Amino acid sequence: MRRAVLIAIPYAWLLVLFLIPFAVVFKISLSDIALAIPPYTPTAKDGIWTMLSQLDFENFVFLTQDDLYWRAYLSSMQIAAISTVLTLLIGYPMAYAMARAPEAWRPTLLMLVILPFWTSFLIRVYAWVGILSGEGFLNQFLLWIGIIDTPLTILNTNWAVYIGIVYTYLPFMILPIYSALDRLDGSLIEAAEDLGCSRLKAFWLVTVPLSKNGIIAGCFLVFIPALGEFVIPSLLGGSGTLMIGKVLFEEFFSNRDWPVASAVAVILLIILVVPLVLFQRNQQRQTEAGG
Amino acid sequence: MPECVFAPWDDPNEKPLIRFRNVTKRFGEFVAIDDLTLDIYEREFFALLGPSGCGKTTMMRMLAGFEDPTEGAIELAGQNIAGVSANKRAVNMMFQSYALFPHLTIWDNIAFGLRRESSDKAAIAARVEDMLKLTRLEKFARRKPHQISGGQRQRVALARSLAKAPKLLLLDEPLGALDAKLREATQFELMDIQEKTGTTFVIVTHDQEEAMTVASRVAVMDEGRVMQVATPTDIYEAPNSAYVADFIGDVTLIAGTARARASAAQTPEPVATPEPQAAIRAPQPNALGIWLHDKVLAPVIGQRKDIVRQLPAPETPVAAAPADIPEGGISIDWADGQPPLIAADGDHALDGKPVKLALRPEKVAISKDRPQVVNALQGTVIDIAYLGNLSTYHVALADGTMIKAQTANTRRIARRDITWEDDVWVSWSGTAGVVLER
């Protein structure tokens, strides 16, 4: 009885917060646009059977006909992938340095990584507008030290989006890698050196494989939210930055085409399910190996 | 000693494999190793023994190449190895935590070092198979370290560190994580493997029994210094300091002042002098006995000429010291009103100096009656530590000094005659104790 209750809680959570909303969105994606409140038809007011009989896959067919959508999906994936790699390249050395820092410093360093979360995400992204714009701090600084003589155009390009995503999601990369490296027994590195490895080789043969789970977890934690990211591309990206989050927002709020927007969301979710399942499996394996 | 045919340290022609020459290691203000000079020979099984923090692990890490000496030089096969990094040394280490790579199988763990120096797959495979056979791990080759038991992991660690056939194998508390039974079995296995491979082993341990069991020589360390380097027998039977005597095994230390003894055998020994009042204490026939003899028996059997009115004392008085008291040596005055203790092999040069007499409990006998040996003291049993095969009695002498005496329990416990609060004699021969200057 108690076990049933314990198991029921996560399932109820999943049902209420994921499956029911998904069913609602999926149903809307099968509806047609209408000038009404809510702005689609049919609704449950028409009777369940009438409603079900009028649903169709028209909107999904539409998504395949307009190349805007699949280009947006592809470009989102590309931006998310590039950002993930950049975050890994920056986050790994930081996590490594943190794990190798004197024991007494580590809580402070960890605090510094988490500290940005205390400020609103929106404000932090806005701050980057001030840094990256033509007259922003970065350009002024570079002009002042004389590396460049005309201001760089960073804001409203994909570069600004990369910077924004890397900056925002860096803690999600650092924390799992740090936790993997922190658990790493220092004598393993010594053993590798004792058996004839150079420092670099020992890092490659021991440290990297043993932090693999942290790397995988970090990459998923960055890639998954970055794929559907809306705020960063709309604030920092330009007109050329095509991301599915932005498309979704526009369909929903500018065009008020809820059915098409829902179809876009359903496809995005299906795309995300693959990495999510992979992420889950990685976590599970990690738990098993740890136990 | 016939079992000690292997003794390169006694051979002046033998070249040591490892030489520590005036090595000092400091960590900031802390002196971990203090001006240490030590030779270790090829094929030796050398144990560094000491309490935690005595510098034994630092010594090992210097040999492995993880630390460099602050002063002095370490030579391996005649070459100074300072500055040679760990991955270039013909030295391998077995870590206390075993440090097995958790992401690799047992096979790959053992092959790890081999793959670094050669790419000959067949040769590597052959060597790994040899190592697996040596450590009896063939069945577990494809498993990961977390899928095998502690004892098996220990053997994998050993196989991995032996795979590269190092000149020197370092073992850092190799058996610390094993339970007592397995540890004992593994000790003999280690000795076997050391003999088979002929590798020089240096083992670090804080477990004196382990060091005594496996090692050909033991170095007892304290606070960065080597206190004594000797074979296990010598360390135990002839410690050179109170520290070593106390660290290895159980010991009673009695402090006193040495006095040289004359070499003559007939020197009267205070402890052995017979008590002169024997005649008075002897039992005599009482009045009834005399009356019976005089009035009843004498008329019948006749008057006896040699009237024995007095029986001899029940205990034959000892005329002189027992024959087994060796000549010479020293006696130790250790407490007022107590007879001096005799150490027959004590050095006359110690005359007048403060010394300590170290007594191993198993060399001290305990009895209810006064035994006929040179050193016998009376006391009360305070405590009995029953260890199954042995019992250790803690006997308090009149002045409060505690002496430990050990007996083998050859009888069942119900029939043992000494118990708490009993007045007993503790005794030992003239050569049982070791006289220590420091």
Cα separation, A166 vs A155, in Å, equals: 15
Confidence of residue B306 (pLDDT cuts 50, 70, 90): low
SS3 letters across A40-69: EECCHHHCHHHHHHHCCCHHHHHHHHCHHH
Tally the domains of chain B. 2
pLDDT at B260: 84
Looking at the structure, tell me whether residues B260 and B213 fall in a common domain: no
Share of chain A above pLDDT 90, in %: 55
Q: Is B132 a residue whose pLDDT tops 90?
A: yes
Q: In this structure, is residue B294 part of a structural domain? A: no
Are the C-beta atoms of residues B426 and B339 closer than 8 Å to each other? no
Q: Is B266 a residue whose pLDDT tops 60?
A: no
pLDDT at A95: 96
Confidence of residue A287 (pLDDT cuts 50, 70, 90): confident
Are the C-beta atoms of residues B264 and B327 closer than 8 Å to each other? yes
Average confidence (pLDDT) over A245-270: 90
- The tokens describing A51, both together, are 């409603």
Query: Measured between beta carbons, which residues in chain A are less than 8 angstroms from residue B116?
Result: 195-197, 201
Are the C-beta atoms of residues B332 and B258 closer than 8 Å to each other? yes
Question: Among all chains, which residue has been given the structure tokens 């052959």?
Answer: B126
Query: Measured between beta carbons, which residues in chain B are less than 8 angstroms from residue A203?
Result: none
pLDDT at B308: 53
- The tokens describing A251, both together, are 């369909």
Q: In this structure, is residue B286 part of a structural domain? A: no
Looking at CA atoms only, how far is residue A199 from chain B in angstroms? 9
Cα separation, B281 vs B310, in Å, equals: 10
What is the crossing angle of helices A58-65 and A258-290, to 10°? 90
Looking at the structure, tell me whether residues B118 and B238 fall in a common domain: yes
Which of B196, B220, B252 lies at the terminal end of a domain, its last residue?
B252
Q: Is B320 a residue whose pLDDT tops 70?
A: no
pLDDT (tens digit, 9 = 90+) per residue, B390-428? 889 999 988 888 999 998 888 776 666 788 888 999 999
Domain boundaries, position B121: 2-252
Q: Which of A119-123, B17-21, B71-75, B302-306 has the lowest mean pLDDT?
A: B302-306
Q: Residue B388: left if φ>0, alpha if ψ -120 to 50, beta else—which one?
A: left
Q: Does A289 touch chain B (CB under 8 A)?
A: yes
Looking at the structure, tell me whether residues B257 and B243 fall in a common domain: no
CA distances (Å), B64 to each of A89, B79, B102, B172, in order? 33, 14, 22, 11
Q: Does A209 touch chain B (CB under 8 A)?
A: yes
Q: In this structure, is residue B191 part of a structural domain? A: yes
Picking from B103, B113, B164, the nearest residue to A210 by CB comes out as B103
Share of chain B above pLDDT 90, in %: 36
Handedness of CA B293, B294, B295, B297 (dihedral sign): positive
Share of chain B above pLDDT 70, in %: 87
Looking at the structure, tell me whether residues B66 and B189 fall in a common domain: yes
Q: Does A194 touch chain B (CB under 8 A)?
A: yes
Helix (H) or strand (E) holding A3: helix A2-14
Altogether, the residues listed in chain A come to a count of 291
Q: Looking at this protein, which amino acid is placed at residue B49?
A: L
CA distances (Å), A11 to each of A7, A14, A22, in order? 7, 5, 15
Which of B252, B283, B306 lies at the terminal end of a domain, its last residue?
B252
Looking at the structure, tell me whether residues B69 and B34 fall in a common domain: yes
pLDDT at B304: 62
Q: Does B160 touch chain A (CB under 8 A)?
A: yes
Q: Is B341 a residue whose pLDDT tops 70?
A: yes
pLDDT (tens digit, 9 = 90+) per residue, B228-263? 999 999 999 999 999 999 888 889 898 888 888 876
With CB atoms and an 8 Å threshold, state whether B102 touches A193.
Answer: no
Q: Looking at this protein, which amino acid is placed at residue A189?
A: I
Q: Looking at this protein, which amino acid is placed at residue A215?
A: I
Share of chain A above pLDDT 70, in %: 99
Looking at the structure, tell me whether residues B268 and B171 fall in a common domain: no
Average confidence (pLDDT) over B117-129: 91
Closest alpha carbon within chain A to B162:
A195
Looking at CA atoms only, how far is residue B429 from chain A in angstroms? 51
Best of B60, B101, B114 to substitute, by most chain A Cβ atoms within 10 angstroms, is B101
With CB atoms and an 8 Å threshold, state whether B146 touches A289.
Answer: yes
Give whichever of A40-44, B35-39, B173-177, B325-329 has the largest mean pLDDT: B35-39
Looking at the structure, tell me whether residues B155 and B268 fall in a common domain: no
Q: In this structure, is residue B219 part of a structural domain? A: yes
pLDDT (tens digit, 9 = 90+) per residue, A230-245? 999 999 988 888 899 9
Helix (H) or strand (E) holding B422: none
Looking at the structure, tell me whether residues B195 and B259 fall in a common domain: no
Looking at the structure, tell me whether residues B148 and B183 fall in a common domain: yes
Are the C-beta atoms of residues A161 and A235 closer than 8 Å to each other? no
DSSP output for A161-204: HHHHHHHHHHHHHHHHHHHHHHHS-HHHHHHHHHTT--HHHHII
Q: Looking at this protein, which amino acid is placed at residue B298?
A: A
Cβ under 8 Å to A: B residues 78-97? 85-88, 91-93, 95-97
Q: Does A210 touch chain B (CB under 8 A)?
A: yes
pLDDT at B270: 47
Q: Is the ipTM of this complex over 0.85?
A: no
Confidence of residue B327 (pLDDT cuts 50, 70, 90): low
CATH of the domain at B152: 3.40.50.300
- The rounded mean pLDDT for chain B is 84
Cα separation, B2 vs B19, in Å, equals: 27
Looking at the structure, tell me whether residues B233 and B333 fall in a common domain: no
Question: Among all chains, which residue has been given the structure tokens 């802390």?
Answer: B30
Q: Does A187 touch chain B (CB under 8 A)?
A: yes
Closest CA to A240 of A168, A161, A166: A161
With CB atoms and an 8 Å threshold, state whether B95 touches A195.
Answer: no
With CB atoms and an 8 Å threshold, state whether A193 touches B116.
Answer: no
Looking at the structure, tell me whether residues B47 and B170 fall in a common domain: yes
CATH of the domain at B351: 2.40.50.140
Q: In this structure, is residue B285 part of a structural domain? A: no
DSSP-based three-state secondary structure for A135: coil
Looking at the structure, tell me whether residues B194 and B263 fall in a common domain: no
